[in-house]
Every structure is written in structure tokens, then in C-alpha cells.
Amino acid sequence: MHESTMPAIINTDSLKSSLLQSCDTNTVNRWSVADIVALFELPFSDLMYQAQTVHRAYFDPNAVQVSTLLSIKTGGCSEDCGYCPQAARYHTEVENEPLMKLDDVLIAAQEAKDNGASRFCMGAAWRGPKQRDLEPVLKMIAEVKAMGLETCATLGMLKEGQAEQLKEAGLDYYNHNLDTAPEFYGEVITTRTYQDRLETLDRVRNVDINVCSGGIIGMGESRNQRAGLLAQLANMERPPESVPINLLTQVEGTPLHGTDVLDPMEFVRTIAAARIIMPTSYVRLSAGRQSMHEGIQALCFLAGANSIFYGEKLLTTANPEASEDKKLFAKLGINSI
């Protein structure tokens, strides 16, 4: 190949060796923040080419995993996450709702299954579950699993012994996001530390529940900090099986409402960089699709996103209608899995 037609990454020794090392899942610190920033800085076509090459080596590029979310306990949360409409201290339009009844959860799960979702993710606006809260959730997990759906839960920080109970109930995935780079974290959340989050992820990993962990882009962080979040995820002893990349959904009443809107191409670059450095993980195009042109969503799939949230609602905010997603998948020749 003539030098000038080569993708830039092949000319860059450090990137090349990082890419090779990234296939060795026992290695920690396999990606430096500088290496990841260098990926972000590639010409767009070269970055997309690298992401596609990695994606096709590990996955069917036309298959996208679909999960449906349900907020099983809404609002009134004690935490101060600056993006979140469910924090009690911010005045948003979210109405508090107590823990849902088992039967209502099962009706929603059946509907999700009938609509083609393969995973059902139950979210609760808690700092973490108290034992009396966990017990009814364990029942929900067991019954949803018995319906033939994969199960996922996001309940906040876990205390000792709780991951074991979730595993026992049949939980397949636990979602707990790092949200952003350690350096930016304190600007967004003060009521729990980065270390708290890492400890919960360790508890999940130690009982062999699949880890779902990612973050939010577009909170006013720098490109270095976007790369810093990805470095934290990619350098885990075992990177998460599922990596949700959320675009901040700005909600009136939250501190982050009014943040400068991120250039969509920077979001696509973030997906591509995640795909390259976590080749075996599902990268989920998560919150933010409602405000995203379908052309940008298509670029995200091209960049290696291979999972979405499916159904008209995320937890409290809107997501595209399932019928719209079906049309988009048909247009792009994507099969849902």
C-alpha cells in the first residue's frame, strides 16, 4: 500500500502496539489516555476504518443487541448526580413512584419480550438497595429470567453480600456506570466517590455477574476526560462486557441543564474509540438517541456500537418509539439480537 493511502494508525507505533495488547485481556494499563486521545485525533475516515476493522474481527457488524429499560422505583433519590432528573434535591418534573409491584413488572417484561427485546433492565433511583428493598427485586429478577429474558439491574451501590444474592436470583448483568473520568467526577457528583463505584463493580465481577459499565458524554468534560473515562473502562482487569455510552439528556431543573451541546461527531468518535480499545465488549448507544438524527445513529453503528435501549422510554426520559427503531434497522439492514 502506498504510504499516503495507509490508515494513520498503521503509521503510529504506539497505537499499533496498544491495539495488539488490547486483545490480551489479562493486561492492565493496556491503554494510556494519550493513546486514546491520539485515536480521537485521527482523521474521521481513518478512525472509522480502524473501528470497523476491529468490530468485524469480533462481531457480526449487522447485529445489534436490544435491551428494554424499566424504572421500577422512580425519583426521590438522595444522591446529587448533576445530570439526573431523579435526584430529590433538584426540581424536575419527575414524579416519585415507590417500588413497582411484581405483576406490573412482569407485564412490562412480557411486552418488551413481545416487542423483540432480549434483555430486560430494571432500574431503581436508590443510592443502593436496603435489604428490605432487595428482596422484592430478587423475586422480579427470578421471574423475568424464567420468562426467557436476560436480566439486568441497576440499583446503585452494592454492599457486601448483595451481589451474591443477585447472582443467586439469576441476574445476568449489573449496570453501574463510572460516568466520567476521575478528574472530572467531582464536578458532577459529590455524594459517592469514584472508588465507591469501582468497589461495586468489583463485587459484581467477583460473583461472575456480567459487568455493564460506561458513562455520559457531553457534560462539559474535555476530550482528554472523555479519553480518561474510556481508559478506566478498558484498563479494568477484565473490561466490562457491556459499555453504555450515554449522551447527556439535559433535563430542566438539573445542574447540567444548559451545558454546551456536544458536537455529534465527537460523540461518534467516542463510540469508535471505545470499540477499538474494548474489542470484545458490546458498546451501547444509550441515552440521547431521541435527539439524535438517524444519520448520526447510523454513524454510531458504523463506529462499532452494537447495542441499544429499545422502547419509548429510558427511565424517565423519552427514547425513540420501537416502531421508529424497527424502520431504522430495516433501512440499515440491521438484525436485532
Residues near ligand SAM, by CB under 6 A: 83-84, 123, 125-126, 154, 156, 176-177, 179, 216, 246, 248-249, 251, 287, 315
Residue with cell 411484581: 102
Pattern 19-58, ligand SF4, x by CB under 6 A: ----------------------------------------
Q: Is 284 an active-site residue? A: yes
Please say whether the dihedral angle defined by the alpha carbons of residues 109, 111, 112 and 114, taken in this order, is positive or negative.
positive
Q: Which of residues 90-109 bind ligand DTB (CB under 6 A)?
A: none
Q: Which of residues 42-101 bind ligand DTB (CB under 6 A)?
A: 69, 85
CA 4, CA 174: separation in Å to the nearest integer? 45
- 189: nearest Cα among 260, 90, 285, 258: 90
Pattern 271-300, ligand DTB, x by CB under 6 A: ---------------xx-------------
Task: Out of 71, 86, 250, 316, point to the residue binding ligand SF4 (CB under 6 A).
Answer: 86
Pattern 147-186, ligand DTB, x by CB under 6 A: -------x--------------------x-x---------
Q: Does 217 bind ligand SF4 (CB under 6 A)?
A: no
User: In the chain, which ranges are continuous DSSP H helix?
Assistant: 13-21, 33-40, 44-58, 102-114, 131-146, 162-169, 182-188, 194-206, 223-234, 264-277, 294-302, 322-332
Residues β-bridged to residue 285 = 245, 308
**Residues near 74 by beta carbon (within 8 Å), at least 6 away in sequence:** 86, 94, 95, 96, 97, 125, 315, 316
Q: Which residues bind ligand SF4 (CB under 6 A)?
A: 77, 79, 81, 84, 86-87, 125, 127, 156
